[in-house]
Amino acid sequence: MSYLETLKERFKKESKSIVLPEISDERVRDAATRLAEENICDVFLINDNPEADYKANFEGVERITVIDTFADKRAEEFAELFFEKRKHKGITIDEAKSVTRTSLYFASFMVETGLADACVAGAATSTADVLRSAIYCIGLKPDSSVVSSIFLMSNEEGRTMAFGDCAVVPYPDSKQLASIASDSADSFEKIIGVKPNVAMLSFSTQGSAKHERVELVTEALESVKKNRPNLSVDGEMQFDTAFVPGVAQRKAPESDVAGKANVFVFPNLDAGNIGYKIAERLGGYNATGPIIQGLNKPMNDLSRGCSADDIVNTVLVSLSMS
């Protein structure tokens, strides 16, 4: 059973809720219907168009609730919250009221206030807009310095790994890279339920090369070890050292991570994005993501080319992080 099937069976026994703000998209409506009919979770669908009526689409479908932001009093409450969060940036209360009537921001505040466990958006919205609403409304975890992402890479033999960051932060500094490593470990353990072994990747293995890019990775490693002394993390190391036990024995025999890593932290977005696509296209791994991390509560982004299946899978992952 894949981790996604495991999550699906788990949530059938729990009481979870997801908010989907893009009700006008047919793929979102199809995914919502599947989630409800398979008894996976409660679904809140958000409509901010006064000229559209979607409630008739879901008559008789249990576990789906359609919310019209223009008629819901909670938009006023969310406006007050948004004004308090953003008034230092010069936003007015009238601007806050306008923003929180939009489906994306209304949905974000449903997560922030605990009315929903997680939010998934992006089928019809840019990644920049999804991340902006998440950061403005939900905010970062206290111990995170940056919003980043992982891809979960799975093969037919049931092996699942995390690659981070492959989608959000182009060139992290050492503090951001440390945060990415820590958050990637937490995301992997929450979703997969397996102890993370984190490899901080580089073109060098434990001092085999000298370069400022290597020093950035080692500085990040020192920070992670200081802040997370119980986390299994090591580096800097090349991918083959992290992945292949035989190579690990030769290159890093003293390492507890080398040869058995399941969380791979790339030094920059170039390496991460190229790496996950090579694993997907040449290695036969299936990629799920990007899974957004570093937020105080879960909100995930979709590709605008996504399918209803992709939406369902992203909902499963998002709920596992709540």
pLDDT tens per residue across span 112-126: 999 999 999 999 999
User: Per-residue confidence at 303, pLDDT binned at 50, 70, 90?
Assistant: confident
User: Per-residue confidence at 304, pLDDT binned at 50, 70, 90?
Assistant: confident
Q: Which amino acid is at 207?
A: G
Average pLDDT of every residue of the chain: 95
Confidence check: pLDDT of 251 > 80: yes
Six-digit token string for 11: 């949530």
Give the separation between CA 208 and CA 206, rounded to whole angstroms: 6
Six-digit token string for 191: 């979703």
User: Per-residue confidence at 55, pLDDT binned at 50, 70, 90?
Assistant: very high
Element at 299 (helix H, strand E): strand 299-301
Six-digit token string for 321: 């992080």
Give the separation between CA 282 and CA 176, rounded to whole angstroms: 30
Give the separation between CA 71 and CA 44, rounded to whole angstroms: 15
pTM comes to: 0.90
Give the separation between CA 136 and CA 102, rounded to whole angstroms: 14
Q: In what order do the strands lie in the sheet with 299-301?
A: 64-68, 42-47, 17-20, 118-121, 299-301
Q: What is the per-residue pLDDT for 1?
A: 62
CATH class of the region 148-289 = alpha beta
Average the pLDDT over 250-255 and give the result: 96
Q: Mind listing the pLDDT tens digit for each residue in 253-279?
A: 999 999 999 999 999 999 999 999 999
**Domain boundaries along the sequence of the chain:** 3-139+297-320, 148-289
Q: Mind listing the pLDDT tens digit for each residue in 12-41?
A: 999 999 999 999 999 999 999 999 999 999
Q: Mind listing the pLDDT tens digit for each residue in 185-219?
A: 999 999 999 999 999 999 999 989 999 999 999 99
Which of these, 40, 12, 9, 1, lies nearest to 311 by C-alpha position? 40
Q: CB-based contacts of 221: which residues, under 8 Å, 6+ apart?
A: 178, 181, 200, 233, 234, 235, 236
Above pLDDT 70, what percent of the chain? 100
User: Per-residue confidence at 311, pLDDT binned at 50, 70, 90?
Assistant: very high
Q: What is the per-residue pLDDT for 60?
A: 86
Confidence check: pLDDT of 181 > 90: yes
Give the other-Cβ count within 10 Å of 125's Cβ.
18
Query: Is domain 3-139+297-320 classified as CATH 3.40.50.10950?
Result: yes
Confidence check: pLDDT of 2 > 90: no
Structural contact between residues 124 and 25, judged by C-beta atoms closer than 8 angstroms: yes
Q: What is the per-residue pLDDT for 158?
A: 86
